[in-house]
Amino acid sequence: MLLAGCASLSGDAGLNDVAALTQGRVGQPVQFNKEPSSPTVEQLLSRPLTADSAVQIALLNSPALKASFAELGVAEADFVQAGRVRNPGFSFSRVRGGGESEIDRGVMFDIAGLLTLPTRSRIERGRYEQAKLQAAAQAVQLAADTRRAYFMAVAGVQSATFAEQVRGAAEAGAQLAERMAKAGNWSKLDEARERAFYQDAVTQLARTRHEATASRERLIRLLGLQDKQQLTLPDRLPDLPAQPQEMENAEATALSQRLDVLIARRDSEATASALGLTKATAFVNVLDAGYANKSSSGQPRENGYEVSLELPLFDWGGAKVARAEALYMQSVHRTADVAVRARSEVREAYSAYRSTYDIARHYRDEVVPLRKKISDEVLLRYNGMLASVFELLADSREQLNSVNTAIETQRDFWIADTTLQHAIHGGSNTKD
């Protein structure tokens, strides 16, 4: 009890605990306070960004995350306050009349608060631990959002590059069709088709460039960067892993590691402790005792004690206990609901992970090589004057479209991988 009463504020210790919780779930070192030996944001931005360095910048630099840490300080202050006894009260009165005076003095102590001090400290400690989990959950959510935004931004760069190549091929085809139509060697219908394809390519390029800019700006917001700060993205997405990971005990891991499940459990424990305190103080919630001193003119000083007790005449605490019991059952059912959602979300996320991996590998190993083989054959036919230049351009466009789809499937895989890891270790990825 004395140790609880002597508790003091230590914000750095709380942040270190949050960093440890976060580090085990994002798979890389985490520091919320800038250490002299750790790289600065400027140093991380001086080289091409990776998914890990993007997460590191977001955790160091995000204003939204820093604002959420203020809630941790509030919970810590409540925990420290719960370990302190209410200050004693002092009363003094002086009455004069008929040539005599009477003085009363008293010092009152909160006995009920002293008796319930261990329980209140235990409840607030649980809430403080819950606040740490909530802060870690926000950090892990930020890391997952940053990874998704990073893969979207890199894929946007690749897609814009290929869209430019498609536009170039379409422009060449449209110009050639126009010249051949003027020479009478090409029909107006075929010329219009080539020009229509070129206009579609121009529109698609504009749309793709905007999507690349929008995804880049989403990443910048998550990183907490200013407009003038520049970040360098790589030219292509990371390669697919050699083998997909298997779903071994993923559901059990989620139930033991997911932060929203741990938060719900902490909430149930804190509510159960609060229910016990409510039942203990249902009848008597105010009990003060203290020293009393009285002195009168011409009379010896009188000493004694004073007790102040709340009498449960009108309120026996039944409604307060019923409310606490209802809150406890609410927390129990909420915990069960979180557990059900966690297991379902892990299964759904793994299905998306395997599907996107299989599709991305199929495009990498089958579709793109096949399109390249077809392109090589068309080029041989063109060199042998067995295929026209328009067949060569059309095949080139088809190959570029296949490569662009392969980029999208590769992007979808890395996003699904991030979603799966977050479903296992972090929390819910959905709002339903």
How confident is the model at residue 8, as a pLDDT? 53
- Does the structure show a pLDDT above 80 at 149? yes
CA distance 107 to 90: 5
Inter-residue contact 294 to 105 (CB < 8 Å): yes
Report the pLDDT averaged over residues 242-254: 85
CA distance 267 to 332: 9
- Does the structure show a pLDDT above 90 at 352? yes
What would the two tokens of residue 106 be? 């008293």
Kindly report the pTM of this predicted structure.
Answer: 0.74
**For residues 311 and 140, which has the higher predicted lDDT (pLDDT)?**
140
Report the pLDDT averaged over residues 180-205: 81
**Alpha helix segments (H runs only) across 106-187:** 111-115, 117-182
75-128 pLDDT tens trace: 777 667 766 667 676 666 666 666 666 766 666 666 655 665 666 666 667 677
Strand ranges (DSSP E) for 263-339?
Answer: 287-296, 302-309
**Mean model confidence pLDDT for the chain:** 75
Give me the sheet containing 302-309, strands edge to edge. 89-97, 100-110, 287-296, 302-309
> At 238, phi and psi to the nearest 5?
-65, 155
- Does the structure show a pLDDT above 50 at 305? no
Please report which confidence band the pLDDT of residue 232 belongs to, taking 50, 70 and 90 as the band edges: confident
- Does the structure show a pLDDT above 60 at 198? yes
Please report which confidence band the pLDDT of residue 411 belongs to, taking 50, 70 and 90 as the band edges: very high
Please report which confidence band the pLDDT of residue 287 belongs to, taking 50, 70 and 90 as the band edges: very low
How confident is the model at residue 227, as a pLDDT? 67
How confident is the model at residue 92, as a pLDDT? 62
> At 291, phi and psi to the nearest 5?
-90, 140
How confident is the model at residue 3, as a pLDDT? 37
**What type of residue sits at position 260?**
D
Report DSSP state, residue 312. Answer: -
Please report which confidence band the pLDDT of residue 314 belongs to, taking 50, 70 and 90 as the band edges: very low
23-69 pLDDT tens trace: 877 877 777 666 656 678 888 888 888 998 899 888 888 888 887 77
- Which helix (H) or strand (E) segment is 91 a member of? strand 89-97
Residue with tokens 């230590």: 10
359-406 pLDDT tens trace: 999 988 888 888 777 776 666 665 566 656 666 666 666 777 788 888
320-351 pLDDT tens trace: 667 666 776 777 777 788 888 888 888 999 99
Lowest mean pLDDT among 92-101, 177-186, 193-202, 234-243: 92-101
Inter-residue contact 82 to 9 (CB < 8 Å): no
How confident is the model at residue 288, as a pLDDT? 46
| b/e code 11-29 from CB counts within 10 Å (16+ = b) | eeebbebbbebbbebbeee
How confident is the model at residue 129, as a pLDDT? 75
